[in-house]
Chains A and B, each alone.
Chain A
Amino acid sequence: MLYAKSAPMENLVVRGARVLDPAQGVDAVMDVRVDDGVVAALGAALDTNSHRVIEGQGLVLAPAFVDPHVHLRTPGREDEETIASGTAAAAAGGYCAILAMPNTDPVVDSAATLGSLVETARAEAEVPVGFLAAITKGQAGGELTEMAELAGAGAVGFSDDGMPVASPGLMRRALQYRSVTGRRIALHCEETTLSRGGHMHEGAVSAELGFGGYPSVAESLMVERDLALAAYEEQPLHLLHLSAWESVQAVRRAQQAGVAVTAEVTPHHLCRTDEAIRSLDPNLKMNPPLRGESDRTALIEGLKDGVIGAIATDHAPHARHEKEVPFEAAPFGVTGLETAFSALYTHLVAPGLVPLATILERMTAGPARAYGLDEPRIAVGAPANLVLLDLKASWRVTEDVFRSRSVNSWLLGETVKGRVRATVAAGRLAYSA
C-alpha cells in the first residue's frame, strides 16, 4: 500500500544518540546499526564495519514519523506540489511514510488514476507514500467509487477529504461496503449548511473582525452523525483533523462505548488559536479553522489521553499568488510537513504541556495503527525507519528552507526549537542536514 522509488538499502551506524522508542519501551544512549536497510544491532560501542557513520552524540534517535494526511496536488496542480517535492519535504520533516488525499484534479476515484500515481511514486517518491481513493465518484457525494477494485489497485484507505459525505444514507452504504475492502474510511466532518460563508472560527474574534463564522457545531454535529452510523454498522472509522472541544468529547464517548474510531489532530490546531487571525494572514486560513483556547486545550488533553491517536499535518500547498490576496479570497490550507516536529516541540514539549514520548508515539505508531500500517520501531529485525532529532537547535522558518514547492506555512517568520538532522525511510537515508 506504500510506494517509493527503488534504491539500494543503507548500511549505517548511528553512534551515541539517545535512542527513544516509547512503543518499545526503549530510552537509552547507545549505537544503532543498520545492515542492508534493516536494524541489525542495538548496543554500546558497536562495530561500525565499513558502514556510513552518523554521529548522534547529544541527539535523539526515534522511530521516523508517519503523516496520515497530506495533499500532494498531483495530478492537476503540479505547480503547487509533486510526488517528488512532497516526499522530499516529508523526508526533511522526519517522515518515513505519508498518505496522500484524493482531492486532486482529476479526483482519485478510478483504478486508472490510482495506477498512474503508484507508477509515479515508484519512480520518484523519496519516502514511501500511500494513496487514499475517494469514497464517492468525483467526491461529488452521489455514487460510491469501486472501492474493492481501488483497494486491489493499492488504495490505502478511502476519503472525500475537503468535503463531507453529506448524505447520511450514502455514508451508511460506504461504511457497509468498506468491510469488504479491509481499508479504513477517513472522514472530513463538516455540516456545510452551518459552515457556509465561514472563513474562520465563529466567536469573539470573528465577531470583532467581521469574518463570516464557521462554528464548532458545524464539525461536531457531523462527528456525532458519523459516530452514530459507525456504531450502528459496527464499522471502524477514522476522523480527520479534529478542531473542536465538542468533537473530542464525542469521540471519547464513542470510544468508551466500544466504537472503533480513531482520530487525528494537526500541529496548527494544537499550537494556535483564532486569536492569531487578527493578523489577517491568509497563511492562517485552513479548514477546519483555528478555534478557541478551550478547543485547543481539549485537543491537547485528547492527544495526551489517547482519544486522539494521531498527529497529521494536513499539509496543503497553495501557489503564492493564490495566498497573496485578502483573507476571504484565499483558499483554505497551510503547509506543515517540514515544520511539524519543531512546531510541536516548541509549543507543546518545551513548555511542558505534552511529554516528548507522547508526541513521538502520536507521530509514528498512532497514525500507522489508524490505517493498519506497520508501526515504525527501533528493534532488531525491523526495517530502518529512523529520525535523528536535535532538540537543542533552534532555527527560523523562512521561505527558502522549504523543499515543498509551496511556502504557505503558518510558521513563517517564527523561530522554532528542535530540528530534524536525518531521516532513514524504509532502509534508505532520505535526508540529512
Chain B
Amino acid sequence: MGEIKVMREDLRPPAPPPRRHFISITDVARDDLERLMATARTFERSLDREVKKLPTLKGRLVINMFYESSTRTSSSFELAAKRLSADTMSIKASGSSVDKGESLKDTAITLGAYDPDVIVIRHPQIGAPQLVARATEAHVVNAGDGKHQHPTQALLDLYAIRQELGRIEGLHVAIVGDVLHSRVARSLAQALIVMGARVTLVGPPALLPRGIEAMGCEATTDIDTIGAADIVYVLRMQRERMQEGANYVPSLREYTARWGVTPERLRPGQKVMHPGPMNRGVEIDPRVADDADALIEAQVRAGLVTRMAVLYDLLVGAPAPVPVGDPVGVA
C-alpha cells in the first residue's frame, strides 16, 4: 500500500471560510455597512406586511447572553431572531450560574454545547465577545462590551440617519457628553468616519479621553460648537459608571448647566439623536427630546431591522436578499 507523502497544494480541500462575527466597527469596511443597511431596508419593507414573520432562520438557535441590564438592545435582538423564525434563548447574569461565580469562559462552553448558531453578548468588560468567540463555535455578535464597542447601535444609528436625511457622507455630527465611558460614542464615531461623515466630540475635559482625536475626529469642550453640526447626538450621562470621588465633573447640576443640550443651544432644523435611556433634564432638555426634529423614535425602529440584518448577514450571508414572498419588481 503506497502512502501519499505529499498532497499537492491544488488537491487540498478548500479551507472553510473564517467564521464571521460582528464584534467591532474596526473589523468592518464601508461595503459591509452598506450591505447591512441594504439588507435592513428589505426587512423594513417585509415588516409592513400583515404576517411579519419570515422563515429565513428556521431551525437556527440564537442565544442572548446579557450580563448588563438592557431594554432596547435585548428586546430588539430577541424580536429580530423571532421575526426570522430562529429559536431563541436568553441568559441573564442574575439568576444564572454567573451568580454562583461561574467564569465567562465556562458559561460560554456550557452554552456552546447546545450548538448555537449565534451568541449575542452584552458584558461589562471589554473583550468579552472575543473570549466567547474563542470558547465556542458560534458566530458572536457584540451587544456592548464595557466602554469598548456597541457595533449594532452604530449600525442602527447610521441606518436612522440615512433614512431621515438621505445620506451620511459629508454630514457633520456632534457627539455630546460622557465620551470617556461611552461605547456608543466610540463605535458610532468610527462608523461615521468610515462612511465619510465629520465627527466632533464635545464634553467636559475629563470625559474626553486623551488621544481620542487619533480616531480621525475632533474633540472640544466648547458646547457652542454643536450649533454648526447637522446632527447633535446626545450621550447618556452614565451615572452608574462614575467612580466615587472621581470628580469627572463637580456635579450633575454643573454638567447640565454647561453641557446640557437645550433648545437655546440648537438652531432650527438640527436633528437630535440619543441612544436611550434618556436622563431628561440632565444631558437633554425635555423640550429637545420631544421635538419633531428628534430622531429618537426612528432610532428605536431601526434597531429591529438592523439587528435582523446582522443575524441574516452572519448566517445566510451576502448578497442582500430578495425577501421571501415579496413581489420582485419587474421593469
> Could you tell me which A residues sit within 8 Å of B by CB distance?
196-197, 202-211, 213, 215, 280, 321, 324-329
Contact = CB atoms under 8 A, between A and B. Distances in A.
Contacts of A210: 126, 146-149, 183, 186
A326 B209 contact: no
Interface in B182-227: 183, 186, 209-215
A328 B131 CA distance: 12
A325 B103 contact: yes
B201 to A, nearest CB: 10
Contact of B127 (A203, A204, A280): A280
B105 interface: yes
A196 B123 CA distance: 21
A206 B126 CA distance: 11
Given A211-B126, A325-B105, A326-B125, 7 more contacts: A202-B210, A204-B214, A207-B211, A207-B212, A210-B126, A325-B103, A326-B128
Contact of B130 (A197, A213, A280, A329): A280
A210 B209 CA distance: 8
B211 A204 contact: yes
A325 B243 CA distance: 23
Interface in B110-126: 123, 125-126
Interface string B153-191: 000000000000000000000000000000100100000
B209 A327 contact: no
A378 B206 CA distance: 56
13 contacts: A197-B243, A202-B210, A207-B210, A208-B211, A210-B183, A211-B147, A321-B103, A325-B105, A325-B125, A326-B146, A328-B126, A328-B127, A329-B125
B104 interface: yes
B125 to A, nearest CB: 4
A280 B104 CA distance: 15
Contacts of B148: 209-211
B126 A326 contact: yes
A324 B106 CA distance: 10
Given A206-B209, A207-B215, A213-B210, A325 B147 contact: no
Interface of B: 103-105, 123, 125-128, 130-131, 145-149, 183, 186, 209-215, 243, 246
Contacts of B246: 197
A328 B103 contact: no
Contacts of B146: 210, 326, 328
Nearest to B147: A210
Contacts of B212: 204, 207-208
A327 B214 CA distance: 22
A33 to B, nearest CB: 47
Contacts, number: 70
Contacts of A327: 125-127
Contacts of B105: 324-325
A280 B128 CA distance: 10
A207 B189 CA distance: 12
A82 B148 CA distance: 37
A203 B105 CA distance: 29
A277 to B, nearest CB: 10
A213 B146 CA distance: 14
The 9 nearest A-B residue pairs measured at CB: A210-B147, A204-B214, A207-B209, A204-B211, A326-B125, A280-B127, A207-B212, A210-B148, A207-B211
A326 B214 contact: no
Contacts of A208: 186, 211-212, 214-215
Residue of B127, B128, B147, B183 most packed against chain A (CB within 10 A): B127
A247 to B, nearest CB: 18
B191 to A, nearest CB: 13
Residue of A207, A213, A326, A327 most packed against chain B (CB within 10 A): A326
A207 B126 CA distance: 13
B154 to A, nearest CB: 14
A325 to B, nearest CB: 6
A20 B213 CA distance: 49
B209 A213 contact: yes
Contacts of B183: 210
A326 B210 contact: no
B103 A280 contact: no
B104 A325 contact: yes
Given A211-B126, A324-B131, A202 B186 contact: no
A321 B246 CA distance: 31
B145 to A, nearest CB: 8
Contacts of A328: 125-127, 146
Contacts of A213: 209-210
Contacts of B215: 204, 207-208
A356 to B, nearest CB: 36
B195 to A, nearest CB: 18
Residue of B123, B128, B215 most packed against chain A (CB within 10 A): B128
Contacts of A203: 210-211
A327 B183 CA distance: 16
B216 to A, nearest CB: 10
Contacts of A215: 210
Given A321-B103, A325-B104, A207 B214 contact: yes
Contacts of A324: 103, 105, 131
Residue of A208, A321, A324 most packed against chain B (CB within 10 A): A208
A187 B20 CA distance: 47
Contacts of A329: 125
A276 B136 CA distance: 24
B126 A325 contact: no
Contacts of B210: 202-203, 207, 213, 215
A52 to B, nearest CB: 40
A204 B215 CA distance: 8
Given A210-B148, A211-B147, A326 B131 contact: yes
A65 B148 CA distance: 41
B211 A325 contact: no
A424 B304 CA distance: 67
Contacts of A325: 103-105, 125, 131
B103 to A, nearest CB: 6
Residue of B104, B105, B148, B209 most packed against chain A (CB within 10 A): B209
Nearest to B145: A326
A197 B209 CA distance: 14
Contacts of B123: 326
Contacts of A205: 211
Nearest to A329: B125
A196 B148 CA distance: 19
A167 B149 CA distance: 39
A202 B131 contact: no
Contacts of A211: 126, 147-148
B219 to A, nearest CB: 9
A213 B246 CA distance: 13
Contacts of B149: 210
A137 to B, nearest CB: 27
Contacts of A209: 126, 148
